[in-house]
Amino acid sequence: MPARLDLDHGRPDEHRRHWAEPQPGRSMADRGVDFRGPQTCPDGVSPDGSAVAWMPFNAGGRAPVLVVCDHATRRIPAELGQLGLDDWVLDTHVAWDIGAADVACRLARMLDAPAVLSGFSRLVVDPNRGLDRTEAFPPISAGIAIPGNQALDAVERRRRAEAFWLPYHEAIARRLDAFRQQGVTPAFISVHSCTPVYDRFVRPWHIGVMWDLDTRMGPPLIDALNRWGDIHVGDNEPYSGRHPFDYTIDHHAEAAGLPCVGLEIRQNLIDEPDGADYWARLIARCLQPVLADDALYQERLQVH
Ligand SMILES: [Zn+2]
């Protein structure tokens, strides 16, 4: 009997304890699922206070899984002067995916998987866009003009790309290479969050599961979440895994034939630790049978 979820407030209810510990029987124990332990997320700040390109988390994780978080932080390097934005803008989805890093870290810890998180705001350069895209250096976002991104020249684009975008993606690529050197084909999980309202449309989905060519993780995760009950699950909603300009999953996972899935969790459900913990546990629980299948860990190249 699934627990009832207090989703609209993102708070676990009293039934949460019924699924707060792993079920007996076949579990992720062999792969290191651990629903306990401290959850400390890196903050994207170097010792001198500036933004960093990427942040490792649970680097010694033993599971054949890599968790990534493209929009983990709102950090903007000091030399960019906050891109001319007021503080309040940096508190919103315009600058980062609220709660996503918290969920990504908790999920990584629960799965005992390593994670790589970006250390810079998407307004500096969006790691989920190719560098040839205008959206990689958004001049406007959600109707808000970004003064520091107007008429960027090639020199500044390259500088930001080399300082942030490239090292982040190189960190992901190195971690994937490390798996391969161990003879392991890892599963790839990308964690995002979305706003509850977009362009006056109230999004009904609590969580969206994004998938495209690879059907090994997205569809079974959607089924498991739907079976849980009381959850409105978006199947490639509100964003689609088939979006032509997404970069991270397409480049690192789909192009290599890795089993992969993207998550979009509504930000107001995960903007506090209790909510992030709740959703990380639920996702881990629903992914558990998928990740426990040894047949998952194979490269499978697919074409449109
Ligand atoms: Zn995102």
Map out the domains of the chain with their CATH numbers. 28-96+115-293 (3.40.630.40)
Q: In terms of pLDDT, which residue wins out, 187 or 43?
A: 187
Distance 191 CA to ligand 1 centre (A): 7
Instruction: Give the chain's mean pLDDT.
Output: 85
| Residue 20: predicted pLDDT | 35
pLDDT at 13 over 90: no
Banded pLDDT at 90 (limits 50, 70, 90):
very high
Cβ atoms of residues 68 and 2 within 8 Å: no
pLDDT at 179 over 60: yes
Distance 180 CA to ligand 1 centre (A): 27
Distance 30 CA to ligand 1 centre (A): 31
Distance 261 CA to ligand 1 centre (A): 13
Of 6-15, 42-51, 68-77, 78-87, least confident by mean pLDDT is: 6-15
Distance 193 CA to ligand 1 centre (A): 6
Ligand 1 (single-atom ion) residues, CB below 5 Å: 71, 97, 192
Share of the chain above pLDDT 70, in %: 86
Distance 192 CA to ligand 1 centre (A): 4
pLDDT at 262 over 80: yes
pLDDT at 136 over 50: yes
| Residue 12: predicted pLDDT | 37
pLDDT at 72 over 60: yes
Distance 42 CA to ligand 1 centre (A): 17
Q: In terms of pLDDT, which residue wins out, 302 or 233?
A: 233
| Residue 5: predicted pLDDT | 35
Distance 159 CA to ligand 1 centre (A): 22
Compute the distance between CA of residue 263 and CA of residue 206 in angstroms, rounded to an integer: 11
Compute the distance between CA of residue 92 and CA of residue 72 in angstroms, rounded to an integer: 12
pLDDT at 283 over 70: yes
| Residue 46: predicted pLDDT | 77
Q: In terms of pLDDT, which residue wins out, 200 or 25?
A: 200
* Assigned token pair, 25: 């029987």
| Residue 196: predicted pLDDT | 86
pLDDT at 11 over 50: no
Distance 127 CA to ligand 1 centre (A): 9
| Residue 45: predicted pLDDT | 75
pLDDT at 75 over 70: yes
Distance 137 CA to ligand 1 centre (A): 15
pLDDT at 207 over 70: yes
Interval 6-12 mean pLDDT? 37
| Residue 203: predicted pLDDT | 82
pLDDT at 6 over 80: no
Q: In terms of pLDDT, which residue wins out, 23 or 273?
A: 273
Distance 69 CA to ligand 1 centre (A): 8
